[in-house]
Amino acid sequence: MKITANREKLLHAFQSVAPVAPVRSPKVILQNIKLDVADNGATLMATDLEVGIRYVVEGIDVEAPGAVVLPTGRFGSILRESTDESFRLESDGQTATVKGERSKFNLPVTSPGDYPPVPSFDESAFFEVPARLLKELIRRTLFATDNESSRYALGGVKLEGDGEKVIAIGTDGRRLAKMEGPLHAAGEPAGFGEATIVPSRSMQLIERTVMDDDAEVQIAVRPNEVLVKTPRATIYSRLLEGRFPGWREVFPSRTVSANIELPVGPFAAAVRQAAIVTSDESRGVDFTFGDGTLVLAGKTADVGQSHVELPIGYTGASITITLDPKFVGEFLKVLDPEKTFTLDLADGDSAAVCSTDDGYGYVVMPLARDR
């Protein structure tokens, strides 16, 4: 194998796949990244057998096709520390040689034939999602998942779709985030079903890999796994096993006592101020809505008290609900600070239901007021 590579472009591709390679593994070869070179281009691959990625490398001139398994840490350091615009990389299967203008590195390498295969996207039927929407689906639901849960499959984002609409749901049992948007089916792809729960780590990888200027992203669901294809990468992930809570029941059909429109930026600032006096033992902040004002009050015995007021348009009967400001703040971070959202309250003991005009919903359970 022999190529000439643009260093910056190879570094970008390498940094995109490197997080997938485990730092430690019983299978030592997984701690490396495979570069597969064909006559028409090159592809970097990494996998830990649960998640895998194939990434097309730009800026490659192929002199001789082949493959090489590269040590993630040392080869990554060479790419980062070099100042050369391009360099030559060649391998005979036992040693990889990297030559710059004034540098040369020889690295022992493992046989590329021992590297496990990383699935490619060969589907003829699949779903298509706008790239920007997919990034928003992930960004607005991933923060609500729980990787520590043992009762439910809460350590991932559940995907549902009907050929025209995709829904992403993330929950940790105390709050739930739901985002939806348009979906297009090419051919007759296998549906998402009830068990398409993509691990949080895989979702983070997908969000990092999808670029804002990508047009469409293709998604194919197989038994126990999912494939996602962007213009430059294919990501493979095993699905989580286990039962996901019935999320539709979390959005209650109920009589709403207060329907309140709130400005994102000013509300977020008020929440941050009120949270200053909270602690791990006393997390709650009282949110009191009424008479054109929102009052946020926090109180912790050893820390102090907070009292923050925000003018609002709600002038109905007073309602007080105690919420965890961390859960409220994380929801507000994924919204445009210049926009507004709607908060529905039934009473102080029922869930607070937030929604936006672009298909996003968030439910957070109240804390006990006798904290």
Cα–Cα dist 104/322, whole Å: 63
- Which pLDDT band holds residue 310 (cuts at 50, 70, 90)? very high
DSSP 3-state of 75: helix
> The domain 126-248 is classified under which CATH number: 3.40.640.10, 3.10.150.10, 3.40.50.920, 3.10.450.240?
3.10.150.10
Q: Mean pLDDT over residues 330-345, rounded?
A: 97
Q: Mean pLDDT over residues 213-221, rounded?
A: 92
Position 371 scores a pLDDT of 44
Q: For strand 319-323 and strand 340-345, is the pairing parallel, antiparallel, or unpaired?
A: unpaired
Q: Within 221-343, where are the H helices?
A: 264-274, 325-333
Contact 235, 227 (CB under 8 A): yes
pLDDT reading at 224 higher than 50:
yes
Long-range contacts of 268-272 (CB under 8 A, 24+ apart): 268/329, 268/332, 268/333, 268/337, 270/294, 270/296, 270/308, 270/309, 270/310, 271/296, 271/325, 271/328, 271/329, 271/332, 272/325, 272/329
Domain 251-364: CATH architecture, name and number where available:
Roll (3.10)
Q: What is the pLDDT of residues 119-177, one digit of tens each?
A: 999 999 999 999 999 999 999 999 999 988 877 789 999 999 877 899 999 999 999 99
Contact 36, 67 (CB under 8 A): yes
Is the domain covering 2-114 a CATH 3.40.50.620 domain? no
Integer CA distances (angstroms), 24 to 20, 27, 29, 258, in order: 12, 8, 10, 53
Judging by beta carbons within 10 Å of its beta carbon (0-12, 13-18, 19+), is residue 70 exposed, middle or buried? buried
248: Cβ–Cβ under 8 A, 6 or more apart, which residues?
Answer: none
Residues of the chain with CATH 3.10.150.10: 2-114, 126-248, 251-364
Q: How far is CA 13 from the centre of its chain?
A: 19
Cα–Cα dist 156/169, whole Å: 9
What is the pTM for the complete model shown? 0.91
pLDDT reading at 52 higher than 60:
yes
Q: What percent of the chain has pLDDT over 70?
A: 98
Q: Which of 273, 304, 274, 302 is nearest to 286 (CA)?
A: 274
